[in-house]
Amino acid sequence: MSSVPTRSEIDEEYIWDLESIYATDDDWEAAYEDAADRIEELASYEGQATDDAETLLAILELRDSLMREISMIGAYARMRSDEDTTNQEYQALSARAQSLAADASAAASFIEPELQELTKADFESMVEAEPGLETYAHYVDDVLRMKPHTRSAEIEALLADLSEVTGAPGEVYNMLSNADMTFPTVEESEGYRQSDAPSDDESPDAEVEGVEITQSNFVNLLKRPDRDFRQRVYEAYFDEWESVRNTVATSYKNSVKTDVKLAQARNYETAREAALDGPNVPVEVYDTLVESVHDNLEHLHRHAELKREALGVDELKMWDLYMPLTGDEGPDVEYDDAAQYVVDAVAPLGEEYQSRVAEGLDSRWVDVYENEGKRSGAYSGGTYDTQPFILMNYQDDVASMYTLAHELGHSMHSELTKDEQPYVYSGYEIFVAEVASTVNEALLTHHLLETVEDPEFRKAILNEFLERVRSTLYRQTLFAEFEHEAHALEEAGEPLTADRLDELFGDLKSQYYEPAAIDDRIHREWMRIPHFYRAFYVYQYATGISAALAISEDILERGEDAAADYRAFLERGSREYPLELLEIAGVDMSTSDPIDRALSTYRDRLEELDLLLE
The predicted-structure confidence for 210-230, as pLDDT tens digits, reads as follows: 899 998 889 989 988 999 999
Burial of 350 (0-12, 13-18, 19+ CB in 10 A): middle
pTM score of the predicted model: 0.83
Q: What is the DSSP letter of 499?
A: H
Range in 68-72, 126-130, 152-156, 272-276 with the lowest mean pLDDT:
152-156
β-strand pairing of 366-369 with 210-212: unpaired
DSSP tally for the chain: helices H, then strands E: 26, 5
Of 83, 407, 481, 525, which one is the catalytic site residue?
Answer: 407
Give the span between the Cα atoms of 408 and 437, in whole angstroms: 7
> Mean pLDDT over all residues of the chain?
93
When pLDDT is averaged across residues 434-447 and rounded to a whole number, the result is 94
pLDDT for res 152:
83
Sign of CA dihedral 48, 52, 53, 55: negative
Phi, psi of 370 (to 5 degrees): -65, 145
Residue 1 pLDDT > 60, yes or no?
Answer: no
Question: Pick from 441, 431, 436: which is nearest to 541 by CA?
Answer: 431
Q: What is the DSSP letter of 452?
A: -
Sign of CA dihedral 161, 167, 172, 174: negative
The predicted-structure confidence for 234-258, as pLDDT tens digits, reads as follows: 999 999 999 999 999 999 999 999 9
* 412 CB neighbour count, 10 Å cutoff: 25
pLDDT for res 192:
62
pLDDT for res 329:
63
Q: Give the full edge-to-edge strand order of the sheet including 389-394.
A: 366-369, 389-394, 379-381
pLDDT for res 216:
81
Provide Rg for the chain, Cα atoms: 25
* 364 CB neighbour count, 10 Å cutoff: 20
Q: Residue 434, by phi and psi: left (phi above 0), alpha (psi -120 to 50) or beta? A: alpha
Residue 445 pLDDT > 80, yes or no?
Answer: yes
Q: How long is the chain?
A: 614
When pLDDT is averaged across residues 181-199 and rounded to a whole number, the result is 69
DSSP string of 183-217, one letter each residue:
--EEEPPGGG--SPPPPTTS-TTPPPPEEE--TTT
pLDDT for res 198:
34
Which option is the CATH number for 311-363+398-613: 1.10.1370.20, 3.40.640.10, 1.10.1380.10, 3.50.50.60? 1.10.1370.20
pLDDT for res 201:
39
Higher pLDDT, 164 or 299: 299
pLDDT for res 188:
84
Q: List every span in the chain annotated with CATH 1.10.1370.20.
A: 311-363+398-613
Q: What is the DSSP letter of 175?
A: H
Task: Residues 7-166: name the CATH superfamily.
Answer: Oligopeptidase f, N-terminal domain (1.20.140.70)
Q: What is the DSSP letter of 502?
A: H
The predicted-structure confidence for 516-546, as pLDDT tens digits, reads as follows: 999 999 999 999 999 999 999 999 999 999 9
Higher pLDDT, 458 or 77: 77
Residue type, 360: G
| Cα separation values, 1 from 199, 226, 227, 240, 290, Å | 15, 18, 20, 20, 44
Burial of 283 (0-12, 13-18, 19+ CB in 10 A): middle
pLDDT for res 162:
84
Q: Work out the percent of the chain whose per-residue pLDDT is above 70.
A: 96
| Cα separation values, 608 from 306, 458, 468, Å | 12, 11, 16
Per the DSSP assignment, residues forming a β-bridge with 210 are 187
Sign of CA dihedral 255, 238, 216, 438: negative
When pLDDT is averaged across residues 492-513 and rounded to a whole number, the result is 97
| Cα separation values, 236 from 29, 120, 191, 243, Å | 43, 60, 21, 11
Active site residue 29: no
Q: List every span in the chain annotated with CATH 1.20.140.70.
A: 7-166
Contact yes or no for 473/546 (Cβ under 8 A): yes
* 232 CB neighbour count, 10 Å cutoff: 20
Contact yes or no for 444/341 (Cβ under 8 A): yes
CA neighbours closer than 13 Å in the CB half-sphere of residue 340: 5
When pLDDT is averaged across residues 94-122 and rounded to a whole number, the result is 94
The predicted-structure confidence for 389-426, as pLDDT tens digits, reads as follows: 999 999 998 989 999 999 999 999 999 999 999 999 99
Sign of CA dihedral 348, 351, 354, 358: positive
Residue type, 431: F
Contact yes or no for 279/578 (Cβ under 8 A): yes
pLDDT for res 191:
64
Residue 505 pLDDT > 80, yes or no?
Answer: yes
pLDDT for res 194:
53
Residue 11 pLDDT > 90, yes or no?
Answer: yes
* 481 CB neighbour count, 10 Å cutoff: 23
Per the DSSP assignment, residues forming a β-bridge with 211 are 186
pLDDT for res 205:
42
Per the DSSP assignment, residues forming a β-bridge with 366 are 390
Residue 154 pLDDT > 90, yes or no?
Answer: no
Residue 557, H or E segment: helix 539-558
pLDDT for res 163:
82
Beta-carbon contacts of residue 495 (< 8 Å; ≥ 6 apart): none
The predicted-structure confidence for 342-395, as pLDDT tens digits, reads as follows: 999 999 999 999 999 999 999 999 999 999 999 988 999 999 999 999 999 999
pLDDT for res 202:
38
Contact yes or no for 223/324 (Cβ under 8 A): yes
Contact yes or no for 508/455 (Cβ under 8 A): no
Q: What is the DSSP letter of 472?
A: I
